[in-house]
């Protein structure tokens, strides 16, 4: 049994409408609490998803993956697209670039690039990634993505292409 809040009559627990006065017996309070709980939960969880998403779009992970894959597959177009290198390069020069970039441990190069770009993004500071031979081969460029996030991108440095050109 429960008590109808309108006419104080005792009614069955399962009644949704009071059989005596026709007042609705549904608890709007309970529904409101559920609704508020849901909204609060959403407000707590949303920032996590937003952060994960923003972190993904502002990091250079995709670029780095494509760069390494291009090198591994000897695919100059894929590599060049990833690091903003000129696509209209003679075939021999393309191979020179690939050979030069591959003349190091790619696993280490990938790790190094990932580490350096993450730090650059965090510190909002442009820097370089070096080849195993000590020359700076990638420009790491940080820019503002929005108020809260920096975006980081890598680009093949001009000197690499000059170096390749001079060794042809």
Residues contributing to the site for Zn ion (CB under 5 A): 4, 6-7, 9, 18, 20-21, 23
The CA-based diameter of the chain, rounded to the nearest angstrom, is 99
CA atoms within 13 A on the CB side of 64: 23
Q: Choose between 6 and 73: whose C-beta lies nearer to Zn ion.
A: 6
Q: Choose between 6 and 143: whose C-beta lies nearer to Zn ion.
A: 6
Nearest distance, CB of residue 4 and Zn ion, angstroms: 3
Nearest distance, CB of residue 10 and Zn ion, angstroms: 10
Nearest distance, CB of residue 46 and Zn ion, angstroms: 42
Q: Which two tokens stand for residue 135?
A: 């020359």
DSSP 2: E
Q: Choose between 28 and 49: whose C-beta lies nearer to Zn ion.
A: 28
Nearest distance, CB of residue 23 and Zn ion, angstroms: 5
DSSP H stretches of helix in the chain: 28-58, 61-72, 76-83, 91-102, 106-123, 158-166
CB 78 within 8 A of CB 66: yes
């Amino acid at each position: 049994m429960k008590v109808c809040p309108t006419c104080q009559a005792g009614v069955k627990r399962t009644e949704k409408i009071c059989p005596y006065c026709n007042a609705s017996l549904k608890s709007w309070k309970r529904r409101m609490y559920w609704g508020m709980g849901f909204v609060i939960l959403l407000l707590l969880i949303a920032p996590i998803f937003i952060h994960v998403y923003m972190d993904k779009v502002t990091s250079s992970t995709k670029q780095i993956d494509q760069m390494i894959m291009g090198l591994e597959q000897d695919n100059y177009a894929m590599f060049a697209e990833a690091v903003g290198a000129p696509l209209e390069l003679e075939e021999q020069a393309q191979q020179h670039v690939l050979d030069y970039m591959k003349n190091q441990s790619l696993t280490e190069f990938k790790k190094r690039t990932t580490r350096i770009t993450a730090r650059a993004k965090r510190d909002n500071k442009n820097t370089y990634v070096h080849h195993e031979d000590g020359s700076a081969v990638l420009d790491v460029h940080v820019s503002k993505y929005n108020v809260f996030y920096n975006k980081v991108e890598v680009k093949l440095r001009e000197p690499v292409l000059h170096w390749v050109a001079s060794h042809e």
